[in-house]
Copies of this chain bind each other. A is one copy, B any other.
Amino acid sequence: MSPQELHPLDILLNPRSVAVVGASTSDQETGWVARLRNFGYTGKIYPVNPKATEVYGLKAYASLRDIPDPVDYVIFNIPRRLVPRIMEDCVAKGVKLAHVFTAGFSEIGDEEGLKLEQQMTAIAKAGGVRVLGPNCMGIYYPKAGLTFNPDFPKKAGQVAFVSQSGAEAMRFVFLGHSVGIHFSKVISYGNAVDLDAPELLEYLTNDDETEAVACYIEGVKDGPRFVRAVRTCLRKKPLVILKAGLTESGAGAAASHTASLAGSKATWEAFFKQTKAIPAITMDDVADVIQAVVRMRRPRGRRVALVGRGGGIGVIAADICERAGLKVPPFHPETREKLSRIIPEAGAGVRNPVETTLGLGGAADFYERGLGIVDTDPETDLILVHMAVDVYGGHQVDLHERVAYAADVLADKAKSLTKPLAVALYTGGYLDTITAVLKARDRLTKAGIPVYPGVEAASRAISKLITYEEVARKYSLAK
Contacts and interface: CB of A to CB of B under 8 A. Distances in A.
Given A177-B393, A349-B256, A249 B321 contact: yes
A128 interface: no
Contacts of A107: 311, 347
A391 interface: yes
Nearest to A430: B178
A317 B390 CA distance: 27
A66 interface: no
Interface residues of A, number: 93
Interface in A148-172: 149, 151-152, 163-168, 170-171
A70 interface: no
B349 A257 contact: yes
Contact of A135 (B80, B179, B347): B347
A108 interface: yes
Contact of A328 (B170, B252, B313): B252
Interface stretch (A202-210, A238-246, A412-420): A238-246
Contact of A249 (B104, B168, B173, B327): B327
Interface stretch (A17-25, A31-39, A431-439, A468-476): A431-439
A247 interface: yes
A47 interface: no
A390 B254 contact: no
A316 B244 contact: yes
B167 A309 contact: yes
Interface string A57-93: 0000000000000000000000010000000000000
A281 interface: yes
Nearest to A345: B103
A310 B168 contact: yes
Copies in the complex: 2
A152 B393 CA distance: 9
Contacts of A350: 256
B391 A319 contact: no
A1 interface: no
Interface in A235-278: 242, 244-250, 252-258
A166 B163 CA distance: 45
B244 A319 contact: yes
A390 B247 contact: no
A329 interface: yes
A115 interface: no
Contacts of A164: 312
Interface of A: 80, 102-105, 107-108, 113, 135, 149, 151-152, 163-168, 170-171, 173-175, 177-179, 216, 218, 242, 244-250, 252-258, 281-284, 306, 309-323, 326-330, 345-347, 349-353, 388, 390-395, 426, 428-431, 434-435, 438, 454, 456
20 contacts: A113-B346, A151-B395, A167-B310, A167-B312, A168-B313, A171-B388, A171-B391, A174-B428, A175-B429, A177-B393, A245-B318, A247-B318, A248-B327, A250-B322, A252-B351, A254-B315, A257-B311, A283-B316, A284-B454, A431-B438
Given A175-B429, A244-B312, A249-B329, 17 more contacts: A80-B346, A135-B347, A164-B312, A165-B312, A168-B312, A173-B393, A174-B394, A175-B390, A178-B428, A218-B312, A247-B322, A249-B326, A250-B315, A252-B329, A253-B352, A429-B438, A431-B435
